[in-house]
Structure 1
Amino acid sequence: MRIIMFDIDTLRPDHLGCYGYLRDTSPAIDSVAADGLRFDNYYCPNAPCLPSRASLISGRYGIRTGVVGHGGTAADMRLQGESRHFRDAVSENGLFMQFRRAGLHTVSFSSFAERHSSWWFNAGFNECMNFGKCGNELAGEITPRVLDWLERRGEEDNWFMHVNYWDPHTPYRAPEEFGNPFKDAPLPDDWIDDQIFAQHLLHVGPHGANEINMWDDTHFEQYPRHPGAVRTMQDMRDFIDSYDCGIRYADDNIRQILDWLKEKGLYEDAAIIITSDHGENLGEQGLYAEHGTADEPTCHIPMIIKWPGGAKGKKAPGLHDNVDLAPTIQELLGTRFVGEYDYDGVSYAKTVTKGEDCGKDHLVLTQCAHVCQRSARFDNYLYIRTVHGGYHLFPREQLYDVEKDPHQLHNLAGERPDLCDKGARLILDWVDEQMKKSEFDTDPMWTVMRQGGPEHARGMLESYIKRLEGTPRASQIPLLREMYPKG
């Protein structure tokens, strides 16, 4: 069996043609979706990059692994402790190890492990190609190495390949010679009008329209597509073009790999998985070029699976999150746990092979790198509960009908306290159940809070307030100080 997993950083499903986007961003990805199964409501339960991939690999939520942020002890996988033997349980039972245990030669083209000092990510690989740029490499630097490996070994049987592309991730950086295929294409979902954009220009907090570079408007010459700020409607449209160019550039590289498989007559029998670690805010909540919340744009991710003999041209509407992939692969390949281990995820192998619905009735989502939030995704709704807003002025509770209002414009919390109560109860019950299973007595979200708050917001309040002084946003400084009295 031959399996390729395309792990594309920061990829929003609603910017892919197979998910209904009208711009031609993803013809190669769309072709795989047509030959396989598309999951419509798939989420990363722990955002952003590092916590998401920790959940993906371990099959466990961050509340158990301890990885919920980008700094402090909440950025490290918890030590197994006394029960650890010669090798630790996560390395022995993680996602990539399932492929190797099934007898496949495993190879990864990714610099993720070095980017976040997360070497557990490489567990299960026979070969690891690290490009040494910690995620700043272009797809055009990765694909030739992939094709070289395929030329040497691709026609052999029984291998699994992991290909990690970063091009949709900030800073947006498709090469200049790629051009802009969307320059004259209107925005398919032109939801940001003059009034909404005027509100965005008054937004307080990092990664707003005035501070694309998180805390300021610095523009780096080596990234001409990535602005320091968006101050006009045309800037905003150019900004979305840049994100879409990153997707299309990655997609063009995926096409080269698919073309190789087809030329060798291997495509039909190959399994292909396409997914992402998280999405991206492109104006939602007043945020641009960031994935720093536990909301719909950040946590909703694509999942496309083409499996030999499996469902073809189908859609899976049920709720899933990325801890579900490891148990699914385990069932599809017939592998077993080593020692005492369990997944929080639930296998959807029958969805892949037979199209049966294996969805959950709700999900709980967490973000502790830029803010501290937990959210409940149920029915058509997303309930967001903020513990630390990362120096944004988010209300404590938010509620959105994500089907009718995917860009989160109308907070229904005041109108539907009953649904807020339901969302809060789902989160509380989930925390209780996860802590019962945990070997540790501390919820890592509160570890983040006790260690000074989210990594990307620590110690920045006073310098940011100085930036706001003398601007139209200065009137919001007292509210900032009221909401964040400890800085």
Structure 2
Amino acid sequence: MRILYIDCDSLRPDHLGCYGYHRDTSPSIDEIAADGRRFTNVYTSDAPCLPSRTAFYTGRFGIHTGVVNHGGRNADPRRYGATRGERYPRRFRTLATILDEQGFDTAMISPFPARHDAWQVVEGFGELHDTGGGGTETADEVYSYARDWLVEHAAEDDWYLHVNFWDPHTEYTTPLEYGTPFEDDPAPEWVTDDLIDRHYQETGAQSAQDLCGWGGKRDAPRMPPDISSRDDFVTMIDGYDAGIHYMDAHIGKLFDRLREAGVFEETLIIVSADHGENLGEFNVYGDHQTADDKTCNVPLIVRGPTVEPGVDEALRYQLDLPPTLVDLAGGDAPEGWDGRSFAETVTDGTESGRDHLVLSHAAWTCQRAVRWNDWLLLKTYHDAFKSNLEEVMLFDLADDPHEATDLADERPEIVREGLSTLQRWVDERLLEAARGERGGNPDAENGVTDPMWEVLRENGPYYTWDALEEYVEHLRHTGRSEHAAELLERHG
């Protein structure tokens, strides 16, 4: 069996043609979606990058591994304690390790482990090819590594190759000579000049006025210095979509290499992402800072010889994919993983899925969200100095996909249901940890402690460290003294 996993950083599904986007951003991805199975409601359990990929490769929630932040103790997995022998207990092994046990040659092409010191993601890989740019490399650079690997190995049996593209990640560095493929296609209409005017007076990193960090301006050809008008928004969207299109062209070249080796039809091809991207939602322009739908919803497209074509709308965690892959490869996933296999859905369309999902973010904001039916409930513990986040917010994603209308006051019964579900989920995960069930580990230091509280107690989300004083001064200097006073009252 051959498995090609294409990991597209910061790729939101609704900017792909196969998910209904009006711009033709993704013809190569759309091609495999037409012959494969497309999943519409897959979410990373823990955002952004480091927590997400840790959850994926360990098959475990951040509340169990401890990895929910980008700095501090909760950027590293909890140690394994007394149950650690010469090797980790099997229930704590990674996807790559389990595939290696099944006789797969495993290789990763990515700068990510070095970018975040995420060595838990590498565990089990026989080869790691660091593309060297720390996440700034363009698709042509990544492709050259993947091309060389496939030329040498594609025709062999039993391999798993992870290829990591970065082009949809801020600052959208698609080579300028590639042009602007969509300058004649309208950008999404939901971001209006009136909305931008309001956002411009609000606060937060990567907000309309503060588009680069805590008050800086962007200096990148495909991103404006700030979002002060709809023209600026269009420039940013054009840059994001050009990155997708450029990446997609090189993904198509990978498919061509498989065809040349005579194994395209026999290869299980997967396209997904570590997280999505907010493109105006919650006044976040070109980043991934919340536990909401647009940051946590990821594409998932699976095509291969045993895949039943179609569309699946069930709620799933992305960490449900690792046990699915192990099942499809004929192995047994560790009992300790939190993920649940949906292999039968992949191969014959069997209905499955989860009743609800709980999503986490603790690197910018500290938030948890509950996603069920058409609802998204967002609970904020640290607002990352954003003036537009309430402690509890509620959105109807069917009618309001960009999360613009908070219904918490209008639907208190739905809020109660969501908060009850959230508390029950946290209790169940901590009980699993106390009992050593699923991904929980009572032997680890702080193994029965909620890592969200550890982040809040330690120093807060990583990207807010030591930022408050400087940002308050910036707000005063830009005519937002009222917001500066509010921030000091909440965080001072």
Q: TM-score range by the shorter chain?
A: over 0.9
SS of 1:6's partner is strand
- Note if contact 2:193-2:229 (Cα within 8 Å) is conserved in structure 1: no
User: Is 1:402 aligned to 2:397, yes or no?
Assistant: yes
* Identity, % of aligned positions: 41
Of residues 468-477 and 371-380 in structure 1, the stretch that sits farther from structure 2 once superposed is: 468-477
- Note if contact 2:155-2:262 (Cα within 8 Å) is conserved in structure 1: no
- In the other structure, the counterpart of 2:413 is 418
Deviation digits for residues 7-47 of structure 1 (CA, Å, limit 9, x no counterpart): 11000000000000010111111111111110010001100
- Note if contact 1:296-1:382 (Cα within 8 Å) is conserved in structure 2: yes
- In the other structure, the counterpart of 1:437 is 432
In structure 1, distance between residues paired with 2:145 and 2:74: 34
How far apart are 1:287 and its partner, in Å?
A: 1.0
* Paired residues for 1:123-272 under 5 Å: 123-187=123-187, 189-220=188-219, 223-272=220-269
SS of 1:301's partner is strand
- In the other structure, the counterpart of 2:439 is none
How far apart are 1:219 and its partner, in Å?
A: 2.9
Deviation digits for residues 182-239 of structure 1 (CA, Å, limit 9, x no counterpart): 111112x31011211111111211110111112123333xx32233312221011011
- Note if contact 1:40-1:318 (Cα within 8 Å) is conserved in structure 2: yes
- Note if contact 2:324-2:342 (Cα within 8 Å) is conserved in structure 1: yes
- In the other structure, the counterpart of 2:279 is 282
TM-score by length of 1: 0.96
Decide which of 332, 351, 360 is 2:354's aligned counterpart: 360
SS of 2:21's partner is coil
- Note if contact 2:17-2:23 (Cα within 8 Å) is conserved in structure 1: yes
In structure 1, distance between residues paired with 2:29 and 2:22: 14
Deviation digits for residues 325-355 of structure 1 (CA, Å, limit 9, x no counterpart): 11111221222357xx511111111110111
- What amino acid is the match of 2:337? Y
- In the other structure, the counterpart of 1:320 is 316
* Paired residues for 1:13-32 under 5 Å: 13-32=13-32
Deviation digits for residues 351-378 of structure 1 (CA, Å, limit 9, x no counterpart): 1011112110000000000011011001
User: Is 1:465 aligned to 2:472, yes or no?
Assistant: yes
- In the other structure, the counterpart of 2:105 is 105
- What amino acid is the match of 1:443? D
How far apart are 1:85 and its partner, in Å?
A: 1.1
TM-score by length of 2: 0.95
In structure 2, distance between residues paired with 1:267 and 1:412: 47
Deviation digits for residues 50-82 of structure 1 (CA, Å, limit 9, x no counterpart): 000111011110000000010100100110111
User: Is 1:449 aligned to 2:459, yes or no?
Assistant: no
- Note if contact 1:93-1:337 (Cα within 8 Å) is conserved in structure 2: no
- What amino acid is the match of 1:347? S
- What amino acid is the match of 2:458? Q
In structure 2, distance between residues paired with 1:89 and 1:247: 39
- Note if contact 1:173-1:226 (Cα within 8 Å) is conserved in structure 2: no
- What amino acid is the match of 2:184? D
How far apart are 1:470 and its partner, in Å?
A: 4.1
How far apart are 1:6 and its partner, in Å?
A: 0.1
In structure 2, distance between residues paired with 1:59 and 1:159: 20
- Note if contact 1:58-1:90 (Cα within 8 Å) is conserved in structure 2: no
SS of 2:313's partner is strand
In structure 2, distance between residues paired with 1:76 and 1:329: 25
- In the other structure, the counterpart of 2:438 is none
SS of 2:315's partner is strand
In structure 2, distance between residues paired with 1:32 and 1:66: 35
Of residues 227-236 and 267-276 in structure 1, the stretch that sits farther from structure 2 once superposed is: 227-236
- Note if contact 2:131-2:145 (Cα within 8 Å) is conserved in structure 1: no
How far apart are 1:459 and its partner, in Å?
A: 1.8
In structure 2, distance between residues paired with 1:250 and 1:89: 38
How far apart are 1:380 and its partner, in Å?
A: 0.2
How far apart are 1:134 and its partner, in Å?
A: 1.6
SS of 1:435's partner is helix
- What amino acid is the match of 1:355? G
- In the other structure, the counterpart of 1:388 is 382
Cα RMSD, aligned residues only: 1.4
In structure 2, distance between residues paired with 1:170 and 1:309: 36
Structure 2 gaps of 5+ residues are 434-441
How far apart are 1:147 and its partner, in Å?
A: 1.1
- Note if contact 2:58-2:92 (Cα within 8 Å) is conserved in structure 1: no
Deviation digits for residues 142-198 of structure 1 (CA, Å, limit 9, x no counterpart): 1112111222221222211110001111121111111110111112x3101121111
- Note if contact 1:143-1:253 (Cα within 8 Å) is conserved in structure 2: yes
How far apart are 1:307 and its partner, in Å?
A: 2.7
